[in-house]
Amino acid sequence: MTNPEGASRNLPRWAARERLREKGQFWTPEWVAKAMAAYVMTQPTDVLFDPAVGAGAFFRAAKSLARERGTPICCRGMEIDPEILKQALEDGNLQAEDTAGIAIGDFTLQPPQEKLSAIVANPPYIRHHRLSAEKKEALRHMCAQIIGSAIDGRAGLHVYFLLRALTLLKAGGRLAIILPADVCEGKYARDIWGWITTHFAVDAVITFAPAASPFPAVDTNPIVFFIRKAPPEEQFWWAKCHRTQTNALQEWVLRGLEAKEYDDLKMMRRSIKEGLATGFSREPCERQEEGYVLGDFAKVIRGIATGANDFFFLNSRQIEALGLPESYFVRAIGRTRDVSGDAVTATTLNALDLAGRPTFLLSLNGQDKTTFPDALQRYLALGEEKGLPTRPLLAQRKPWYKMEVRTPPPLLFAYLGRRNSRFIRNYAQVVPLTGFLCLYPHWSNAEYIERLALVLNHPDMLTNLSKIGKSYGAGAIKVEPRWLEQLPIPDRVVQTYKLPTQMRLWA
């Protein structure tokens, strides 16, 4: 998750990025790798195991620590991609003797048979939609065997690495693993952490300020977990690193996670119960004042998923060039950056269209395509030639070109904001794509909607987003529809804008 080493470095930037996404390969920087290795090597151990060796960052860190202590260490591990190991050898990141202890295979589904005392890992960050249906089913079955039930299908491969690694720990064994924050914030988080915290001791959770991210070029919020195979404890250390390349992290680990003042690292004791309720990736949540949640005032639905934006979402020049009747289109908005302010207006749409941005969504019902005008039939045939009906989402629709339907919502929410999350008034009556969430207030009165918009854009509301959203790199927050309905709204903010709270007609 830092600058990629090896095989991707000679590819064009976009191609290298796509390769990394497919393989999930991002390398751990030395200052983090040494702290993680130090944790699992705190207890006497002669073998360190890395389930995703990659460029060998943890092997190098462990051997460096072993040399400093004057004690030997044997590094073993697994890697699914032999090309990465070959590149690591050529680059000098791995030595020839290291390869003897590395097995080629899938750690999640073909794990080692013996128990281990020291595991350190940076699993492949491969999101669920990049896994084959067969592998997803095998992983869900594996999960059910481990924790007693399958988890939500949107869990990425890294979640299953965590579960598999924990099952391989000896009594007293230690796991240091770096994962994206979604492992604490996803729909599945409650299930997996409920199991972990009843079977293991969580010693520490280490988070990073945006300026200190180990992976500054990647849209993820990384977290390091230190976990022991030991009876659960009621408290854990929660730390936040504020400067990259700091020595404080490794020093703190080598001192046995003792309380100490550092300029670059702040730590505190938290209860497991509070951490589970708040989310381990988030700072402790102070007691909430009495108030409401967004769901008391509005229903939230995701925007339209087209399945092929480049085909269904066009600008006026494209429509004219193709000879398509405009009556088959609805006005739409696609990207959050297409709305710079807190409102979408007709002026906004005109400016976007003049700039060549798409604002027309082809919105067809399920009628037979032979009933459409000739130009539209030809366009659909072009989509079939491109293989659109076989795309995962479109293959589920009957027929494939039938578009999802949304009533234009009075309010939109920027779905994935980079320090600019906001609620937007939809004066242009557009339908949003998946870059936004749709908010449908429980009352349709215009003044009520305006007051609700003022409430939602109050600074406290935007601050509260961090309590319900998934955190990504550079301060970005992603909020799912059901979670947005749980956005806390203090009573004082409701009272400030005299927003009615009773389910009644409001004249």
**Residue 62 in domain:** yes
* Between 131 and 290, residue with greater pLDDT: 131
User: Within this chain, do residues 184 and 107 fall inside the same structural domain, yes or no?
Assistant: yes
Tell me the per-residue pLDDT of 240-277, one tens digit each, with 9 for 90 and over: 999 999 999 999 999 999 999 999 999 999 999 999 98
Assigned domain for 1 exists: no
Q: Are 302 and 169 part of one and the same domain?
A: no
pLDDT at 500: 86
Give the residue from 278, 306, 333 where a domain finishes. Answer: 278
Torsion sign across C-alpha atoms 416, 420, 424, 428:
negative
Same domain, 223 and 120: yes
Token digits for 466?
A: 């961090």
289 within domain boundaries:
no
pLDDT at 20: 47
Tell me if 92 is assigned to some domain. yes
The pLDDT confidence band at residue 475, using thresholds 50, 70 and 90, is: low
Q: pLDDT, tens digit, for every residue of 418-444? A: 456 689 999 999 999 998 999 999 998
- Residues 200-213 have pLDDT tens digits of 999 999 999 988 99
b vs e for 12-44, b when ≥16 Cβ sit within 10 Å of the residue's Cβ? eeeeeeeebeebbbbbbbebbbbbbbbbbbbee
**Domain of residue 382, residue span:** 367-402
**Domain count of the chain?**
3
Q: Of 278, 304, 339, which closes a domain? A: 278
Give the β-pairing of 411-414 and 470-471: unpaired
Please check whether residues 61 and 81 belong to one and the same domain: yes
Q: Are residues 70 and 175 in the same domain?
A: yes
Residues 107 and 199 in one domain: yes
Give dist(CA 278, CA 468) in Å, integer: 9
Burial of 381 (0-12, 13-18, 19+ CB in 10 A): exposed
Q: CATH number for the domain including 172? A: 3.40.50.150
Residues 250 and 332 in one domain: no
507 pLDDT above the threshold of 80: no
Q: How far apart are the first and last CA of the chain?
A: 55
103 shares its domain with 21: yes
Mean of the pLDDT values across residues 79-100? 92
Residue closest to 421 by CA, chosen among 469, 352, 379, 368? 469
Is 147 found in the same domain as 108?
yes
Residue predicted with more confidence, 417 or 335: 335
For the beta carbon of residue 416, count every other beta carbon within 10 angstroms.
17
Global confidence as pTM: 0.76
Q: Are residues 268 and 321 in the same domain?
A: no
Q: What's 460's domain CATH number? A: 3.90.220.20
Calpha distance 472→469 (Å, rounded): 9
- The answer to the question of residue 283 being in a domain is no
- Kindly report the length of the chain: 507
CA 148 to mean position of chain CA atoms: 25
SS3 content of the chain, % helix, strand, coil (to 5): 40, 20, 40
Question: What's the per-residue H, E or C state across 217-271?
Answer: CCCCCEEEEEEECCCCCCEEEEEEECCCCCCHHHHHHHCCCCCCCCCCEEEEEEE
Alpha-carbon distances, residue 219 vs 30, 216, 347, 349 (angstroms):
20, 8, 32, 29
Check: CB of residue 101 under 8 Å from CB of residue 69. Answer: no
- For 465, residues 6+ apart whose C-beta sits below 8 A from its C-beta are 421, 477, 479, 487
Identify whether residues 233 and 336 lie together within a single domain: no
Looking at the structure, tell me whether residues 398 and 478 fall in a common domain.
no
